[in-house]
Amino acid sequence: MPESRSGRATYIITEMSAANRTIDLLLDYEDPYVQPLIKSAFQSRLPSGSYRLIDSPDEHKFGPLVQFRAYEALDFDKAVELPGILINAYVIRKALIRKHYLSTTVSNWVSKHPDSILKTHVEPSVEFELDYAEFLDDALVEAFELKESFEKNEGKKPQDREWWILKPGMSDRGQGIKLFSTEQELQEIFEAWEAERPDSDDEHEEDEHRHEEGERTARIRGGDARGDHEADDNESAPATDGGWGAIQVTHEKKEYIITSQLRHFIAQPYIHPPLTFDDRKFHIRTYVLAAGALRVYVYQPMLALFAAAPYAAPWVNADAESGGQPDLRAHLTNTCLQGSDQREGSVRAFWDLPATLDASNTPAAAELAGMPVDWKEHVFSQICTLTGEVFEAAARGMMIHFQALPQAFELFGVDYMVDARGDAWLLEINAFPDFRQTGDDLKGLVEGLFEETVDVAVKPFFELDGAKPEGTEQLRQVLDIDLGRR
Residue 344: the pLDDT is 56
Sign of the dihedral through C-alpha 137, 140, 144, 148: negative
- Confidence label for 239 from pLDDT (cuts 50, 70 and 90): very low
The pLDDT of 390-407, averaged and rounded, is 98
pLDDT of 384 over the 70 cut:
yes
Choose the most confident range, by mean pLDDT, from 228-237, 262-271, 305-314, 353-362: 305-314
* Chain mean pLDDT for the chain: 83
pLDDT band at 192 (very low <50, low <70, confident <90, very high): confident
CA-wise closest residue to 137 among 145, 128, 124: 128
Which of 239-248, 330-339, 458-467 bottoms out in mean pLDDT, i.e. has the lowest?
239-248
The per-residue pLDDT for 8 is: 35
366 pLDDT higher than 90: no
Beta strands in 307-354 (DSSP E): 318-319, 325-326, 347-349
Least Cα distance to 299 among 434, 432, 445, 459 occurs for: 445
Q: Confidence band (pLDDT; 50, 70, 90) for 194?
A: confident
Residue 225 binned pLDDT confidence (cut-offs 50, 70, 90): very low
Amino acid at 196: E
Per the CB < 8 A criterion, the answer to whether 432 and 29 are in contact is no
Residues 6 or more apart in contact with residue 129 via CB below 8 angstroms:
139, 263, 264, 265
Alpha carbon distance 56, 40 (integer Å): 19
Question: For residue 335, what is the enclosing H or E element?
Answer: none
The string of pLDDT tens digits covering residues 436-474 is: 989 999 999 999 999 999 999 999 999 999 999 999 999
Residues 265-308: pLDDT tens digits? 999 999 999 999 999 999 999 999 999 999 999 999 999 999 99
Contact 28, 68 (CB under 8 A): yes
Comparison of pLDDT for 145 and 247, the residue scoring more = 145
Q: Which of 404, 304, 398, 378 is nearest to 346 (CA)?
A: 304
Top mean-pLDDT range of 201-215, 266-280, 322-336: 266-280
Instruction: State the average pLDDT over residues 39-48.
Output: 97
Top-confidence residue, 456 or 129 = 456
**Residue 253: is its pLDDT beyond 60?**
no
Higher-confidence residue of 271 and 7: namely: 271
pLDDT at 216 exceeding the cut of 50: no
What is the pLDDT confidence band of residue 234, given thresholds at 50, 70 and 90?
very low
Whether pLDDT at 475 is above 50: yes
Q: Please give the average per-residue pLDDT across 362-372, as a whole number.
A: 67
Report the interhelical angle of 99-112 vs 375-397 (nearest 10°).
90
Higher-confidence residue of 38 and 251: namely 38
Lowest-pLDDT range, 18-22, 37-41, 296-300, 401-405?
A: 18-22
Question: Looking at the predicted structure, is the pLDDT value of residue 14 above 50?
Answer: no
- The pLDDT of residue 264: 87
More confident residue, 186 or 248: 186
Helix (H, G, I), strand (E, B) or coil at 349: strand
Cα–Cα distance measured from residue 246 to residue 205, given in angstroms and rounded to the nearest whole number: 10
Over 80: is that where the pLDDT of 122 sits? yes
CB 430 within 8 A of CB 286: no
Q: Assess whether pLDDT exceeds 80 at residue 348.
A: yes
**At 232, is the pLDDT very low, low, confident or very high (cuts 50, 70, 90)?**
very low
Arithmetic mean of pLDDT, 299-322: 84
More confident position, 320 or 77? 77
Given a cut of 70, whether residue 56 has pLDDT beyond it is yes
Q: What is the pLDDT of residue 15?
A: 39
Confidence (pLDDT) at 76: 96
What pLDDT is stored for residue 235 in this prediction? 40
Burial 144-159 (b: 16+ CB within 10 A, else e): eebeebbeebeeeebe
Torsion sign (Cα): 392, 71, 84, 475: negative
- pLDDT at position 361, please? 76
